[in-house]
A and B are shown apart, each in its own frame.
Chain A
Amino acid sequence: MEGDAELSDLYRDVLLDYYRSTAHKGRLESPDVRGHGVSPICGDEIEITAKNRQGRLGPIRYSGRGCVISQASSAMMAQALEGKTLAEVRSLMEAFGDMMLRQGPVDSLPEDLEEAKALEGVRRFPARVKCAMLSWNTLRLGLEKPREAVEFREEGS
């Protein structure tokens, strides 16, 4: 796979749909979980806010600046994790990280991450994997320290 084929595989239609979607964009007032993610390489920033309602996460909102990959990944994350228990959230996060970072098989991803499979093509571009992981890492850190404003910083220059 080269050139145009790689490009279409990276920017799959479903990814572009999520990128353009505004369903989970925004910022929640007095959130239970808040994380601020920064990617020093590209200067992108993302803020994730979420509520914790009787042990279930949601709603989840993201705001900030980012590329197609990071914005689409944020939208997919919000959709996949909303309404899940914290245990489910942790396991889905792990499964997603496994696919992106350790090239885990896409077919064995849980059903809740069906849409996130569209990010598979990103794995071919190591520089872009960080874009896909930014919101997930930011939320993970936010969950580890609830009710604190935490900052996640990608490794970079």
Chain B
Amino acid sequence: MDPASLRQDFPILQRKVRGKALVYLDNAATTQKPSRVIEFEKAFYERHNANIHRGVHALSEESTALVDESRAKVARFIGAGAREIVFTRNATESINLVAHAWGRKFLGPRDEILLTEMEHHSNLVPWQLLAQEKGVRLRFVPVTPQGTIDLESARRTITPKTRLFAFTAMSNALGSINPVRELVALAKENGAASLVDASQWVPHLRTDVAELDCDFLAFSAHKMLGPTGVGVLYGRQKLLEEMNPFLGGGDMIGQVWLERSSYADPPQKFEAGTPNIAGIAAFAQAIDYLSEIGMEAVRRHEIALTQRALEIARAQSGVELYGPADVNERGGVLSFNVADIHPHDVGQVFDSEGIAIRAGHHCCQPLMSKMRIGGTARASFYLYNTIEDVEAFGRGLRKVKEFFKVKEAVGHGR
């Protein structure tokens, strides 16, 4: 794959920011969209727009077919069956769906949910709400000082009462890749279901839910070249069938009487109301785009970029890096601090160079507290980033140090 030529597919990468060519390094937050995704969404409204599962007219048949096709492509992309793919608004909603439809039905005061200390708020708060409502106890696998989850401590934390182990496949804040298959197996050995927050995994690494053997897996389209407002929940067929509905309304019913209703089969049972039809249809284009390049190639490219970024950052005094040292144990996410400079001030200097990075707690406040930092600055890569972008990252680092007069060769106090 040739990122320089791929860049031609992404119109936004041609723009200038603050008078400089945009260097987009905030891909863990959201990714840019290739023309074919943008054009497909436009074409949907220009040619096919109609509600799904409604009319017998031609347009409704077309829009329904587009949603079905997208579902089939998503399923193939992660090794699932099409009926195991529920469309949501985002990964957050996918996780909330499981908390409501599965958690509320099956969990009570005798039960425990196992999480980790590195979860994004979206894989933490829904469980807190459930715990408050149902008296479920939350337990947490500790993170190591290197910012990883180690299998041994997971083994020590899981109990016979654990009914669900919900964990991130890859930390959005640190880039650490977790041993997903082993953690899922651990859940299974202990009779617990597993939910994988794969928001940072599916966009960057090949995914096969059959191989991972997980019960639920959640991710968002917008982090993998697709539109915003489309999320995916994979659920094992049997579990989806046993669960309660999520939202009530049109499209999720079997039959409705005034006092009661029967429900549609999964996945329709969890898809009440008109979904983001155009977004779902266009998401299929993003899946095609990634499939044509191949996820192995995406991963190889990101490893190369991350390797270079690590070298650059390590060569700078006063730069503290977080997450695993080994590039094979991390995704294309680089979390760092520069001396005692606040991450927002770091981000502002990068911005003045037209370089977009994220700064703050990355929706992982408990993780930041554990690591005794207020936040970090974070650069994150994707397939359209080039080695030149990584060199720009190095320029940004040097400029931060110059601008805030960070003394060279002096240890930092973090």
Contact = CB atoms under 8 A, between A and B. Distances in A.
Given A42-B361, A43-B365, A6 B403 contact: no
Contacts of B19: 2-3
B352 A7 contact: yes
Interface in B346-393: 348-349, 352-354, 359-361, 363, 365, 368, 374-375
A111 B52 CA distance: 64
Contacts of A7: 348-349, 352, 403
Interface in A48-79: 65-69
Given A3-B18, A11-B403, A44-B374, A66 B342 contact: yes
B345 interface: yes
29 contacts: A2-B18, A2-B19, A3-B18, A3-B20, A3-B353, A3-B354, A4-B352, A6-B18, A7-B348, A7-B349, A7-B403, A11-B348, A11-B403, A42-B375, A43-B365, A43-B374, A43-B375, A44-B342, A44-B374, A65-B342, A66-B342, A67-B343, A67-B345, A68-B345, A69-B344, A69-B345, A128-B344, A131-B344, A157-B363
Nearest to A41: B360
A119 interface: no
Interface residues of B, number: 22
B361 A43 contact: yes
Interface string A16-45: 100000000000000000000000011110
A62 to B, nearest CB: 15
Nearest to B349: A7
Secondary structure type dominating chain B contacts: mixed
- List the 5 closest pairs (A to B, CB-CB), nearest first: A2-B19, A67-B342, A7-B352, A43-B361, A67-B344
A44 B348 CA distance: 16
A10 interface: yes
Nearest to A16: B404
Most chain B CB inside 10 Å of its own CB: which residue of A4, A16, A66, A67:
A67
Contacts of B361: 42-43
Contacts of B349: 7
A157 B363 CA distance: 8
B352 A6 contact: yes
Interface in B19-46: 19-20
A95 to B, nearest CB: 26
A14 to B, nearest CB: 15
Contact of B374 (A11, A41, A65): A65
Given A43-B365, A68-B345, 19 more contacts: A3-B353, A4-B352, A6-B352, A10-B348, A11-B348, A11-B403, A16-B404, A41-B360, A42-B343, A42-B360, A42-B374, A43-B360, A43-B368, A43-B374, A67-B342, A67-B343, A67-B345, A128-B348, A131-B344
